[in-house]
A and B are shown apart, each in its own frame.
Chain A
Amino acid sequence: MKLFFIFSLFISFIINGAEFKPNIYYLEWEQISKELKFNLALEKEEFSNLDKEGRIVFGIEKGDLVNSLNELTLNFKILDFEEQKLIFEKEIPLEKGIIVIDFGLNSLEFGEYQVQGEIKKGDNILKKEEKKFRYVKEKTPSNKGKIPLIFPLDIPLKKEKTFPVSFGIPFPKGALWDENNVRIVDKEGKEISCQKIVRARWGFSKNSSIKWLGIDFQAEGLSSNWQNKNQLNYFVEFGPQINSLPKGGIKIEETETGYNVDNGVIKFTIKKSEWNFIDSVISRGKEIFKNRKNNGFYLIDHEGDIYRASNDKEVKVWIEEKGEIKTVFRIDGWYVKDNSEGKIVNYSLPTDKLCKFITRIEVYNNKPYVRVLHTIVFTFDSNFVRLRDMGLSLSTDFKNAFFGIEEQQPFKIDKNSFNTDSIYLIQHLPDKFSIEMSNGKTIKEGKHSEGWFAIEKENGNIIGISNRETWQRFPKEFEVLLNEGLKFHIWPYHGKTHPEIDEISPSEIYKLWFCHQGKELNFAMPWKYYFKTAEIYNSPSTDVYTGPGLVLAGVHSSILGSSVTNDILITFLEGDIERYREISNCFQVLPHCLPEPKWICDSLSVGYIAPYSSEKFKFIEDCIEKVVKGYWELQDYTEQYGMWIYRTWHHTSYKGDKTFDLYRFFNATHHYESFMPWLLYLRSGDPFYLQQARANIRLLSDLNIIHYDDPNYTHKEFHFGQKRIIGSTRHTNGFCPWGGDHALLGHLTCYNGLITAYYLTGDLRLREIVVDEWQKTLVSDRKNPEFSSATRLEPGRDNNNSLGELIDLYQLTYHPALLIYIDDCLKKFLINMYHWGLPLHNVLLFYKSEKAKDLLLEGVIDPKSDKVNLWNTHSPHENYALASIFEIDKEKSKEYAVKSFFASDIFSWHSKGDKLKNKEPFHPFCSISDFILYLPRVIYALSKSDIQDPTNWTYSQSLPGCPQGTYCIVKEEKDKEFNIVIKGIVGKKSGKGFPLKVIGPDKKIIIDTLIEKPYTKLIVPKDGITGEYLIILEVRDGEDEIYVPLTDLEKEVYYVNYWFQTTETKFFTKPKTEEKEIMGIKPHVYSVYILSNKTKEIIASTEKGEKLEIEMPLEGIWIIGKTRYMHLKQSLILSNDEKSWFLPENIKDIQFKWKTMW
């Protein structure tokens, strides 16, 4: 009986599945809407068996007419859509504004479901919503594998055995569920100890599979293998058979007063109060370093008052990431003035507290050094406070001091030679440092510091400080003080002024010299910057859409809320200076690695992108490199260095002679730029992109995003009058990285750059900004008076970029409230799909909106009939590529892939890239990311359709129309019935048709008709003869837009002596004879590119409609034209592709009515 009962239960479970038992809970939701607002937000429209769990969120804002949420209830139902069978129903009183329904998917059968929700007051239904979701079966990916690691840069070690490496690896959805099933092995298969942390999952639950795994390990010295994939050193292995636990040895003891850390080489203490950085260091049982009470990080204001981190009685010291291989201590606090109570915060002097700090100390197992990422958040107004010094002091005695110099032996000086208080190296220009005594005497001068200095103690111990990108982020100062020890000056104490530099000359003004030189750090942009700009533009405009107006906004800007981060390595070494130098130089490289790019791309963790392939897609890859590297080289050429501007993006143009258009010169990430180098890096492993990405992300995260607000601070930005709100990204309008308008949500943000950087590097500051600043404001500071002006959700680019961004954020944190924003944005998006950032891609890949897919696939057939603003875009190649990816019909998918290639305008970009490389005038920079960001998707689409050479592919394009008669000649090899289909638009303005004649091989007229409507199908019957048929179409410019091919015959050509066209076209042509044939072409105003059919390289081009004459190679050419009208020197026989081309015999009988002018 008992057995029968268990058996019955089992059978019932098999038949009915598990019971639908959702986990229902409330979340706070600030009530800001005046109207009753109700969102039924699905996490996504399609769940799969790989998701395991699903989520529905109800967001309710009661509006002004309802007194309290408690008066309302939510009634919701889940039904089987087809059978309308009730799966679940519940009525819930509204205690808070968000109700989350998390449910296991295993209780549902595959199929469609409907969710209905009602907000009720008593029995009255105030609002109703319903939505559908699908539950589908997805193929489970392999749950094991071995992925090679790619090291973009050498790890330059000889004396040292290993160096810490932190990286991120993605896994396909459903491939990995437990991080312990992952390990690192070397090339011999030996397991290497590593530490793992889950950075993101494929779903909100801890039961979801792992999407991004962070791995820390210590790699031996090696050579870069990004270009030599056969030289493999390390692999990531995963699989259920692996159970890898960290085998490191960092030991941490927490006491009341601090943390005692033992990493196997050094023991040190970090105090919990009076935090003076590292209090003491013990090596081999002996204390080798002891900081004084007032050491550590400090600032000095322009009046000479000193503010120290160690004075902060409320400092918070905690462990942010704990592990045996790497542990990260986090210290949050304020710089507090000496002898003050530490209570008053003011944005001007006097103040007890001046600037906040966030410090991360990364401790590594068995390493004599710690990495310190120290962020200073400015809490003062630029016009009221200046700084004489910002730095870190370490107390130590010494015997010798050393300063690292690039490509030279370190400069060494013994203590006995000190006849002043201190000796320092100051990098006061990007290409100039000097080593000086505090009495002003210069000892040595040179170009680049190597980014470190150190002392040697009597017992031979080395204590050193290294700082990354020292000359690039000048000015910096390294000082050794006779009686105090070491000071690293983030802003120099012995700053220099350079009167020889005309700081407002057109070739210097954008370098912001006012905050890169001098004794004091002064963020107030002088008025002369505005007047000089007005002089340059000969206009005193104050308008936001002008160069002078934006520089005036710079004059009005304030540093309050921005930050600066320094990446520092502090070493306590028993060893010689050369060993220290090796450690420091390795730190300058900051070793990193990636899983093989193909693995990353195949995982779909970054979406539909293809790995770098210089073999298959050389033409595209060369163009990407030329443009992006050319951008960087131009910045080098124009010497854009300095701690406040290093690797910004620009918006407008380079004008030559080291001058730029100053309008929107400092562009935070307006066109989604900050994601671009990370994207290019992860798909290639190219160290250049890593360097660019790292440098730019620090600028974005420090200066372009607001980290602090003072409620008493009345400052408003010059244009639009915004104050500050934490987590908001700057736009382009302040002529400095920290000024101008800003947004939390809008077209101007690219938090995805920070998110991707966090996944790849594990940089916790980036995550902090995204989660603890941006997301925190979005979900819990909505009543902030600045909130509405910073959430620009107008239909179009603002709404749509936000949608893409929110979907990326959701996949990092899975905060339920984000689904309400996503729901709002999605509704607007499906009406106005204007493209900016990654909205469509994310909606298709993550949310899986059927409607978005349908709109894309309907629109791609005829972009001109676009009703949802999808094709009014900077980046049509993204639309075509996505259409290709989502189109099921293989032939159409191929056609869209080819169109994505041509729509990218890559031929024109090759010549633009040359301009950048050659430092010629270039315009505009913002279009670079519009172009580059979607090329990996274009390559993905081409690869998916197995197309390597998109130039040789047929797709519908404009008929080359000739006034008074276009001659299309087709060749019938075998007698059969064939169709002529007139696709496109007929009689656009007049509504009248055009005449069409078909003349058979026997010169008899077969068809003579008037084409009055598009998609007219004409049948040429099987007639007992074969040969050439002449189709004469009297299409009219501006009236008829007809697409070719017209027939399904293999051979189809167009004989022209001039043509007009309604789309961008690519036509193949060949010489008519074996003899030398000069082709002359003159496009109207716009560009034409002539490609060799052999090499597919551009052999001639014209940008603005200049005449072009070339000798046609026998193998033929491709004519790529964006223009509307093509004037020819001679007649041409064009075809859609090479295989369609033939030399018609009957062209000798054709007399063009249109007389071309050359």
Chain B
Amino acid sequence: MKKLLFVFFLFFLLCFSEGFHIYSKGYYFYEKEDREWHINFKGKFSAFCGIYFILFNERGDIFYCGVIPYGDYSDKPYTIKIPEDKITGFYKGVLVGEERTIDSLILPLSDLEYEVYGGDYFATHYKDRLYFKVEKDELYVLGAYKGNLKVLNEKGEMIADTKITKKTEKYDNLTEFQAKKDDVYILEKECRYFRVKNDKKIFLSNDAKKLFIPDPALDKIEWWKIPLKGETK
């Protein structure tokens, strides 16, 4: 009976546990060795006009450029196949829209080993720990919109906490820490939206093993000009 109850409890958790999702300005992938790989959109796309998705690399090669139509892909993902093509390395995907229209998109998107979500603005309902890396050895300032967050190092020691820093900027509670490029940081948050200040970026995931720092050249691609060119590799 106890076993049955335990199984029932596990099933309950499974049913009501929140899948990992996050809205960010960029979805980054790293293909270590050339292979066929996939991007699977799982979840409900609530915008009737669909969501526009663009996938490219730092050279401006375009791997996908088009609309993911409105639909519920919770059970059967909407899959994009990137064939084995003698191209490896970094990719960036952009989903055009606001987080509300894709807030049920379940991550990770790809079946690649490395996948991070980067930029200076994030939105998520996900409550568990996140892991992130930074681009540079510099001071990073994070802001939690109408909430709080703290940063821990790999050892689990707290190195920044908005509740301690007690600085604010409009609706954001701020905290800061001196970051090192190759270190992994842990983010614990009590807010839906958070930002990285001063035009800096972080790259995060819910799985530390998936972390990497993408090629900065990816962010120099003017992706919004790609759809008008009408090219997809």
Binding site for B on A (CB under 8 A): 381-384, 524-525, 527-528, 530-532, 534-535, 538-540, 542, 548, 552, 555-556, 558, 714-716, 718-719, 721
Selected from B50, B98, B100, B225, the residue in CB contact (under 8 A) with A531 is B225
Selected from B100, B222, B228, the residue in CB contact (under 8 A) with A716 is B100
Nearest residue (CB) in B for A381 is B48
Complex: A730 Cα to B70 Cα, angstroms: 25
Q: Is the CB of B52 closer than 8 A to any CB of chain A?
A: yes
Instruction: Return chain A residues, CB-CB under 8 Å to B97.
Output: 542, 552, 556, 718
Complex: A538 Cα to B50 Cα, angstroms: 23
User: Interface digits, B33-65 against A, CB 8 Å rule (1 contact, 0 not)?
Assistant: 000000000000011111010000000000000
Nearest residue (CB) in A for B97 is A542
Taking a contact as CB atoms under 8 Å apart, the answer to whether A721 and B96 are in contact is no
Taking a contact as CB atoms under 8 Å apart, the answer to whether A540 and B100 are in contact is no
Q: Is the CB of B82 closer than 8 A to any CB of chain A?
A: no
Taking a contact as CB atoms under 8 Å apart, the answer to whether A718 and B98 are in contact is yes
Binding site for A on B (CB under 8 A): 46-50, 52, 67, 70, 94, 96-98, 100-101, 222-225, 227-228
Minimum CB–CB distance for A734 against chain B, Å: 13
Instruction: Return chain A residues, CB-CB under 8 Å to B96.
Output: 527, 530, 540, 542, 552
Complex: A528 Cα to B96 Cα, angstroms: 12
Instruction: Return chain B residues, CB-CB under 8 Å to A721.
Output: 100
Instruction: Return chain B residues, CB-CB under 8 Å to A381.
Output: 48
Nearest residue (CB) in B for A553 is B98
Report if A527-B48 is in contact (Cβ < 8 Å); known contacts: A534-B224, A540-B223, A552-B96. no
Complex: A539 Cα to B222 Cα, angstroms: 9
10 shortest A-B CB distances, which residue pairs?
A534-B224, A540-B224, A383-B48, A531-B227, A531-B228, A383-B49, A381-B48, A555-B49, A527-B52, A556-B49
Instruction: Return chain B residues, CB-CB under 8 Å to A714.
Output: 46
Report if A528-B49 is in contact (Cβ < 8 Å); known contacts: A542-B96, A542-B97, A552-B97. no
Question: Known contacts A542-B98, A714-B46; can you find 17 more A-B pairs with CB under 8 A?
Answer: A381-B48, A382-B49, A384-B48, A525-B49, A527-B49, A527-B96, A531-B228, A540-B94, A542-B96, A548-B224, A552-B97, A556-B49, A556-B97, A716-B100, A718-B47, A718-B97, A718-B98
Taking a contact as CB atoms under 8 Å apart, the answer to whether B48 and A528 are in contact is no
Complex: A528 Cα to B226 Cα, angstroms: 10
Complex: A627 Cα to B220 Cα, angstroms: 44
Minimum CB–CB distance for B177 against chain A, Å: 28
Taking a contact as CB atoms under 8 Å apart, the answer to whether A524 and B228 are in contact is no
Taking a contact as CB atoms under 8 Å apart, the answer to whether A528 and B100 are in contact is no
Minimum CB–CB distance for B47 against chain A, Å: 6
Minimum CB–CB distance for A558 against chain B, Å: 7
Taking a contact as CB atoms under 8 Å apart, the answer to whether A527 and B224 are in contact is no
Nearest residue (CB) in B for A533 is B224
- What are 26 inter-chain pairs, A to B, with CB distance below 8 A? A382-B48, A382-B49, A383-B49, A383-B70, A524-B49, A525-B49, A527-B67, A527-B227, A531-B225, A531-B227, A532-B228, A534-B225, A535-B228, A538-B222, A539-B224, A540-B94, A542-B98, A552-B96, A556-B48, A716-B46, A716-B100, A718-B47, A718-B97, A718-B98, A719-B98, A721-B100
Complex: A535 Cα to B224 Cα, angstroms: 7
| Max count, chain B CB within 10 A of own CB: residue among A383, A538, A558, A714 | A383
Instruction: Return chain B residues, CB-CB under 8 Å to A552.
Output: 96-97
Complex: A524 Cα to B224 Cα, angstroms: 20
Complex: A530 Cα to B222 Cα, angstroms: 14
Instruction: Return chain B residues, CB-CB under 8 Å to A527.
Output: 49, 52, 67, 96, 227
Complex: A639 Cα to B223 Cα, angstroms: 32
Instruction: Return chain B residues, CB-CB under 8 Å to A534.
Output: 224-225
Report if A715-B48 is in contact (Cβ < 8 Å); known contacts: A383-B70, A542-B96. yes
Complex: A525 Cα to B224 Cα, angstroms: 17
Minimum CB–CB distance for A546 against chain B, Å: 12
Instruction: Return chain A residues, CB-CB under 8 Å to B47.
Output: 556, 718
Instruction: Return chain A residues, CB-CB under 8 Å to B222.
Output: 538
Nearest residue (CB) in A for B52 is A527
Minimum CB–CB distance for A540 against chain B, Å: 4
| Max count, chain B CB within 10 A of own CB: residue among A531, A552, A714, A716 | A531
Complex: A531 Cα to B52 Cα, angstroms: 10
Complex: A555 Cα to B49 Cα, angstroms: 7
Instruction: Return chain A residues, CB-CB under 8 Å to B227.
Output: 527-528, 531
Complex: A724 Cα to B223 Cα, angstroms: 33
Taking a contact as CB atoms under 8 Å apart, the answer to whether B228 and A718 are in contact is no
Minimum CB–CB distance for A849 against chain B, Å: 36
Complex: A534 Cα to B224 Cα, angstroms: 6
Instruction: Return chain A residues, CB-CB under 8 Å to B94.
Output: 540
Minimum CB–CB distance for A340 against chain B, Å: 24
| Max count, chain A CB within 10 A of own CB: residue among B52, B96, B101 | B96
Instruction: Return chain B residues, CB-CB under 8 Å to A548.
Output: 224
Complex: A721 Cα to B49 Cα, angstroms: 15
Complex: A718 Cα to B97 Cα, angstroms: 8
Instruction: Return chain B residues, CB-CB under 8 Å to A540.
Output: 94, 96, 223-224
Instruction: Return chain A residues, CB-CB under 8 Å to B100.
Output: 716, 721
Complex: A558 Cα to B49 Cα, angstroms: 9
Minimum CB–CB distance for A1000 against chain B, Å: 60
Complex: A535 Cα to B96 Cα, angstroms: 14
Instruction: Return chain B residues, CB-CB under 8 Å to A558.
Output: 48
Nearest residue (CB) in A for B25 is A540
Complex: A552 Cα to B222 Cα, angstroms: 17
Taking a contact as CB atoms under 8 Å apart, the answer to whether B48 and A531 are in contact is no
Nearest residue (CB) in A for B230 is A528
Minimum CB–CB distance for A20 against chain B, Å: 54
Complex: A528 Cα to B49 Cα, angstroms: 13
Minimum CB–CB distance for A868 against chain B, Å: 26
Instruction: Return chain B residues, CB-CB under 8 Å to A524.
Output: 49
Minimum CB–CB distance for B27 against chain A, Å: 15
Complex: A532 Cα to B225 Cα, angstroms: 8
Instruction: Return chain B residues, CB-CB under 8 Å to A719.
Output: 98
Minimum CB–CB distance for A503 against chain B, Å: 12
Instruction: Return chain B residues, CB-CB under 8 Å to A715.
Output: 48
Instruction: Return chain A residues, CB-CB under 8 Å to B225.
Output: 531, 534-535
Nearest residue (CB) in B for A719 is B98
Instruction: Return chain A residues, CB-CB under 8 Å to B223.
Output: 540
Nearest residue (CB) in A for B94 is A540
Instruction: Return chain A residues, CB-CB under 8 Å to B52.
Output: 527, 530
| Max count, chain A CB within 10 A of own CB: residue among B94, B100, B224 | B224
Taking a contact as CB atoms under 8 Å apart, the answer to whether B49 and A531 are in contact is no
Minimum CB–CB distance for A123 against chain B, Å: 44
Instruction: Return chain A residues, CB-CB under 8 Å to B224.
Output: 531, 534-535, 539-540, 548
Instruction: Return chain B residues, CB-CB under 8 Å to A538.
Output: 222
Complex: A530 Cα to B98 Cα, angstroms: 14
Nearest residue (CB) in B for A544 is B98
Instruction: Return chain A residues, CB-CB under 8 Å to B67.
Output: 527
| Max count, chain B CB within 10 A of own CB: residue among A528, A539, A542 | A542
Minimum CB–CB distance for A956 against chain B, Å: 40
Minimum CB–CB distance for B231 against chain A, Å: 13
